[in-house]
Amino acid sequence: MGLRYLLGRLAVMIPVFIVVVTVVFFMIRFAPGGPFDSEKQVPPDILKNLNAKYHLDEPLVQQYLRYWGDLSRFDLGPSFKYANRTVNEIIAESLPVSAELGLISLVWALLIGVTAGGLAALKPNSMFDYIPMSFSILGICLPTFVIGPLFVLVFAVWAGWLPVGGWNTWQDRILPSLTLGFAYAAYISRLTRGGLMEIRSQDFIRTARAKGLSEGRVIVKHALRGGLLPVVSYLGPAMAGIISGALVTEQIFNIPGLGRFFIQSAVNRDYTVVMGTSLLYFSLIFVANFLVDIVYVFLDPRVRYE
């Protein structure tokens, strides 16, 4: 039954993917300006040749069908602004950097969030509860573009412990990943605390206590599996937020990831790069949510039986 649930979730991707391709394609085509608009006027003959080269002189429906034909061959087309470079090459070059940043940020979020939430649930209404939950409120309220400069000011400028930007050494990874993962660690800590506090009142937890197990062992061996279900449910939106939030973080810390190409292509009306990066982000978000669904099936027997 769990397999049927996962296959149903996978089947949803096909119509959603078609809608995403269609909406993004026509939205960027109807936006003001074009890929060859600039402060310096392009001569009409050259503009005509450029449009013919990139098939922009064809009817819009024909361009749309042509794009689907290229997409079926996993060809995202050439970039209009980066000469002699294809969208596939741009993504292959910059995606590993963004993926590494997102993965490290997710590890930070889980490590800090689950630890803080577990301590708060283990010692409710104490300093171990009040201090982490106060920081979680701070993380929820402050956006990434505020947290990033604050971290730079404190840890790079005042303390001098970490570099301001770049992506060369392991020290360069710390501030960007902490900036990106801080807000999600705040949500995860509150979800962990709430889930564990709820599960602690269940009958099987009282039975474990009656057998003489310590409170820490009760939480680690018996309560975590059910108590972390809210966290697992949140990981799908969290990974989606980390993927999209990397755009801002990469700009703050001057990281050579996919975010700068996405932003510059939107400004420059580079149609193919906008389409390629948008579809990539959609695919990554869907894969992240699908992986969360798989984990949820194994953690929650009710999903398998329903």
> What are the extents of the domains in the chain?
87-305
Residue 179 contacts residue 148 (beta carbons within 8 Å):
yes
Q: What are the phi and psi torsion angles at 167 (to 5°)?
A: -150, 60
pLDDT confidence band for 98 (50 / 70 / 90): confident
Could you report the per-residue pLDDT of 42-57, keeping only the tens digit for each? 677 877 887 888 888 8
Q: Residue 78, SS3?
A: strand
Instruction: Check residues 107 and 11 and name the one with the higher pLDDT.
Output: 107
Helices marked H in 123-228 — which ranges? 127-141, 144-151, 171-199, 203-210, 215-218, 224-227
Helices marked H in the chain — which ranges? 2-30, 44-53, 60-72, 87-122, 127-141, 144-151, 171-199, 203-210, 215-218, 224-227, 229-252, 258-268, 271-299, 301-305
- Over the chain, what is the mean pLDDT? 82
**Has residue 1 got a pLDDT over 50?**
no
Q: How many other CB atoms are there within 10 angstroms of residue 290's CB atom?
A: 15
Residue 143 contacts residue 193 (beta carbons within 8 Å):
no
**Residue 3 CA from chain centroid, whole number:** 26
At the topology level, CATH places domain 87-305 in MetI-like fold (1.10.3720)
What pTM, to 2 d.p., does this model score?
0.80
| C-alpha dihedral sign at 237, 273, 255, 153 | negative
